[in-house]
C-alpha cells in the first residue's frame, strides 16, 4: 500500500501540469479579447442644450442602450513566486448604440452612433495554487479611462436631433475573476479565461441640439460607464522555475565500512532563519558529541519547505545553514571541520505539493561522520 501511494505521488509531482501550475515568477506578458456588454445609462443634458429643450417643451432626460461590443486588453506584469502578481494594463472597448430614447416631446426618435473607451490600469492579482491542472485567480485594478461618444444621435422626424459627440476622462476601477490553463508543450505559456467588470466615475460629454444642419444649442451630457467583459487570452512568463528535484534515494553504507554517523535535526519557523531555544540545545548537543567521538567531518545542510519560489527557498536554506554553522563555531567547533551546504526545497523530509508549508522540511541537518 505504501509503495502504491509513493508511486502515485511521484507520478503527480512529475506530471507536466504540476510543473506549469507553479506560481508565476518574474516578468510576464498578457493579452485578451472578447465581448463587452455596456450597461444602459441615463443621458441627461445640462447647460444650454437642456435650457433650449425645456423652453420648447422637451424633457432633457434620455436613456441609451447598447449592442454587444468588443473588448481587448494588453498587459505586462511581474509575479512574485508566491501567488501575488502586479500588472500594468492598456484596454479598449467599443459598443454601437442600439437605442437612444426619452426626450419626451421630441416625438419618435431614430438612434445611431458608437461609444468607445480607452484606458490604462494598474492591477493586483492573487493566483490560487490548489494542485489542480487549472489555476483560479482574482484581481482588482484602478486607473484612468476616456469615454468617447462618437456622433451618438437621437433624430426626430422633423430633422431635429440631440447629438452627443466628444470624450471625457475619469477615474476607473475594475474587478477580475479568471482561470489560467497552462500549456504543457510551451513552458511559461497559459490560456486565460476571465470576467471583468470595469466602471468609471460619471463623464460629461459635449452635447448639441441641431435643427437640420444648424446647431441651435450646446451643453453637456452626463453619462455612466459600467462594462461587463468576457475575455479569452494568452499569458507568457519569460522565466519558468525548474521542476523540483525528486527526493534522493538513501544509499545503504557498504558492509565493509561500518562507519556510524550521528544526525541532529534543527527545525525552524516558517520563513525564518533565526535559532529557537530548542534549536540551540540541539546544536550544543551536537557540538559536545563532536568533541567526544572521533569526528572527521561535520556536515551542515540547510533545507526549506515548498511554500515560495525555488530561488527564494535556496537562499533561505543557505541562511539557515549559516546560522547553525555560526552557532557551532561559537561553541568551539572549527569552521574548517564543517562542510556547509544548502539544498532549498529539493530534498524534503516529507514530500508535499508545491506551496505547502511543512514544518519537518524547514530544517538543518547536522551529520557527524
Phi/psi at 177 (5° precision): -140, 130
188-218: pLDDT as tens digits: 999 999 999 999 999 999 999 988 788 889 9
Q: What is the pLDDT of residue 141?
A: 97
Query: Which helix (H) or strand (E) segment is 363 a member of?
Result: strand 363-368
Burial level of 337, CB count in 10 A (0-12/13-18/19+)? middle
Q: What is the pLDDT of residue 286?
A: 86
Q: What is the pLDDT of residue 252?
A: 63
pLDDT class of 5 with cuts at 50, 70, 90: very low
Angle at the Cα of 44 from the Cα atoms of 38 and 49, rounded to 5 degrees: 130
Give, in order, the Cα–Cα distances in Å from 235 to each of 19, 70, 83, 143: 16, 20, 15, 21
Class of domain 262-368: alpha beta
Contacts with 88 (C-beta within 8 Å, 6 or more apart), sequence order: 75, 76, 77, 120, 121, 122, 123
Q: What is the pLDDT of residue 322?
A: 92
Whether the predicted model's global pTM rises above the 0.75 cut: no
Give, in order, the Cα–Cα distances in Å from 323 to each of 74, 296, 318: 45, 21, 9
Q: Would you say 182 and 17 are in contact if contact means Cβ atoms under 8 Å apart?
A: yes
pLDDT class of 16 with cuts at 50, 70, 90: very low
Mean pLDDT calculated for residue range 173-182: 97
Q: Would you say 225 and 205 are in contact if contact means Cβ atoms under 8 Å apart?
A: no
Residue 13: all three cell numbers together: 509531482
Say whether pLDDT at 91 is over 90: yes
Looking up cell 490560487, which residue turns up? 128
Q: How distant is the alpha carbon of residue 130 from its chain centre?
A: 15
Segments making up each domain of the chain, as ranges: 2-237, 262-368
Residue 296: all three cell numbers together: 572527521
CB count, 10 Å around CB of 7? 10
b/e per residue, 346-363, with b = 16+ CB within 10 A? bbbbebbbbbeebeebbb
Q: What is the pLDDT of residue 244?
A: 58
Q: Would you say 47 and 208 are in contact if contact means Cβ atoms under 8 Å apart?
A: no
52-62: pLDDT as tens digits: 888 988 899 99
Q: Which of 13-17, 141-145, 233-237 has the lowest mean pLDDT?
A: 13-17
Query: Which helix (H) or strand (E) segment is 319 a member of?
Result: helix 310-330
Q: What is the pLDDT of residue 89?
A: 97
Instruction: Quote the CA–CA distance of 361 and 107 in Å, as a whole number.
Output: 77
| HSE toward the beta carbon, residue 65, CA cutoff 13 A | 5
Mean pLDDT calculated for residue range 70-91: 96
DSSP calls for 59-110: --EEEEEE--EEEEEEEEEEEESSSEEEEEEEEEEEEEEEEEEE-TTS-SEE
Domain 2-237 has CATH 2.40.160.20: yes
Residue 205: all three cell numbers together: 460629454
Give, in order, the Cα–Cα distances in Å from 220 to each of 102, 119, 161, 217, 264: 16, 22, 15, 10, 78
Contacts with 293 (C-beta within 8 Å, 6 or more apart), sequence order: 262, 368
Report the first-to-last Cα separation within the chain, whole angstroms: 35
Q: What is the pLDDT of residue 355?
A: 86
Say whether pLDDT at 327 is over 70: yes
Q: What is the pLDDT of residue 211?
A: 85
Instruction: Quote the CA–CA distance of 23 and 85 in Å, as a whole number.
Output: 9
Regarding predicted confidence, which is higher, 137 or 109?
A: 137
Amino acid at each position: 500500500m505504501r509503495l502504491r501511494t509513493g508511486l502515485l505521488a511521484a507520478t503527480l509531482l512529475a506530471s507536466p501540469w504540476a510543473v506549469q501550475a507553479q506560481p508565476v515568477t518574474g516578468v510576464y506578458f498578457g493579452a485578451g479579447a472578447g465581448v463587452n456588454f455596456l450597461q444602459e445609462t441615463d443621458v441627461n443634458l445640462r447647460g444650454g442644450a437642456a435650457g433650449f429643450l425645456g423652453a420648447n417643451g422637451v424633457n432633457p432626460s434620455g436613456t441609451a442602450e447598447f449592442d454587444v461590443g468588443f473588448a481587448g486588453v494588453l498587459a505586462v506584469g511581474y509575479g512574485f513566486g508566491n501567488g501575488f502578481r502586479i500588472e500594468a494594463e492598456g484596454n479598449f472597448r467599443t459598443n454601437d448604440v442600439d437605442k437612444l430614447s426619452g426626450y419626451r416631446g421630441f416625438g419618435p426618435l431614430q438612434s445611431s452612433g458608437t461609444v468607445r473607451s480607452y484606458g490604462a490600469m494598474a492591477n493586483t492579482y492573487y493566483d490560487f495554487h490548489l494542485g489542480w491542472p487549472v489555476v483560479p485567480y482574482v484581481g482588482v485594478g484602478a486607473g484612468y479611462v476616456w469615454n468617447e461618444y462618437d456622433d451618438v444621435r437621437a433624430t426626430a422626424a422633423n430633422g431635429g436631433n440631440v447629438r452627443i459627440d466628444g470624450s471625457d476622462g475619469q477615474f476607473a476601477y475594475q474587478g477580475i475573476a479568471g482561470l489560467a490553463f497552462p500549456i504543457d508543450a510551451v513552458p511559461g505559456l497559459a490560456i486565460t479565461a476571465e470576467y471583468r467588470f470595469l466602471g468609471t466615475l460619471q463623464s460629461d460629454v459635449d452635447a448639441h441640439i441641431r435643427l437640420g444642419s444648424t446647431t441651435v444649442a450646446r451643453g453637456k451630457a452626463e453619462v455612466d460607464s459600467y462594462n461587463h467583459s468576457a475575455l479569452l487570452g494568452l499569458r507568457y512568463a519569460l522565466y519558468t522555475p525548474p521542476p523540483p528535484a525528486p527526493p534522493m534515494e538513501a544509499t545503504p553504507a557498504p558492509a565493509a565500512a561500518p562507519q556510524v554517523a550521528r544526525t541532529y535535526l534543527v527545525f525552524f519557523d516558517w520563513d525564518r532563519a533565526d535559532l529557537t531555544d530548542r534549536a540551540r540545545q540541539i546544536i550544543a548537543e551536537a557540538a559536545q558529541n563532536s568533541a567526544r567521538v572521533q569526528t572527521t567531518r561535520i556536515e551542515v545542510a540547510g533545507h526549506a519547505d515548498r511554500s515560495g519560489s525555488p530561488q527564494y527557498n535556496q537562499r533561505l536554506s543557505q541562511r539557515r545553514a549559516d546560522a547553525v554553522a555560526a552557532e557551532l563555531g561559537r561553541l568551539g567547533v572549527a569552521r574548517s571541520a564543517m562542510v556547509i551546504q544548502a539544498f532549498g526545497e529539493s530534498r524534503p523530509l516529507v514530500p508535499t505539493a508545491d506551496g505547502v508549508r511543512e514544518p519537518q522540511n524547514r530544517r538543518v541537518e547536522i551529520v557527524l561522520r
